[in-house]
Amino acid sequence: MNRTVYSIEGKELRSIELDDAVFGLPVNEDVIWYAIHNELANKRLGTASTKDRGEIHGSNAKPYKQKGTGRARRGDKKSPVIAGGGTVFGPKPRDFSYTIPKKAKRLALKSILSLKVQSDTLKIIEDFSIASGKTKELAGLLACFGPGERTVIILKDDDSLVKRAGANIPWLRFLSYNRLRAHDLFYGRRVLLLETAAKNLNAFYSPGGIEPGEGNE
């Protein structure tokens, strides 16, 4: 398919060929959910921790005698049924991360790219850089493509100056063409794809392309 390449002022420049095997697939909603759920699970810290009765600091002595008081039996003050006692089956530190097949991850990312093309929320813009690294310059560029809303910029490389310029824009996210994240890409209301990054994606995610994580950092 052919898509228009825009200048940083928002004017049409030329057209670019996008691979239908990357940007023109039927949207697979199931695998998209699978990939997003995996990313969110891998980000969970799992550091919540509670103390059971064996970890509570206190005496092991019985608070009162076993019989003759008419009250319930008590072994010690650390019992879970007493205020301040241990917790039964409480959370402990754990690892929530898991892996999904690489083919499923690739299909999810291509499905999201295809979805953005179909919904006309993906625009290809000419390569640019922010030499000054200032937020004002980048904000002016983004204003040419509409009001401030959740935006994802897909870079052709790890441009530290562009990322520094966008660090103070809360609704802006940066992704590298070979380090896409399904969650950020899916929920981005506007996706700006650099021209060179678009060409790289054609090769990177086309059939026979290299696997995610094997490209340049």
Q: Write the pLDDT tens digit of every residue in 64-73.
A: 999 999 999 9
Q: Beta strands of 90-131 (E only): which ranges?
A: 122-125
State both tokens at 203. 């090769």
- Which range is least confidently modeled, 110-119, 154-163, 182-191? 154-163
What pLDDT shows up at residue 93?
95
No. of helices (H) and no. of strands (E), the chain: 7, 6
CA 39 to CA 45: how far, in whole Å?
A: 12
Q: Beta strands of the chain (E only): which ranges?
A: 2-6, 12-17, 122-125, 151-155, 172-176, 190-194
State both tokens at 24. 């023109």
At the top level of CATH, the class of 2-44+101-204 is: alpha beta
CA 109 to CA 32: how far, in whole Å?
A: 7
Residue ranges per domain, the chain?
Answer: 2-44+101-204, 45-95
Q: Binning pLDDT at 50, 70 and 90, where does residue 215 land?
A: very low
What pLDDT shows up at residue 210?
56
- Least Cα distance to 54 among 33, 79, 24 occurs for 79
* Largest distance between two CA atoms of the chain: 93
Q: Binning pLDDT at 50, 70 and 90, where does residue 29 land?
A: very high
Q: Write the pLDDT tens digit of every residue in 115-153.
A: 999 999 999 999 998 988 899 999 998 998 888 789 999
Residue 217 has pLDDT above 60, yes or no: no
Q: Write the pLDDT tens digit of every residue in 76-94.
A: 889 998 888 999 999 999 9
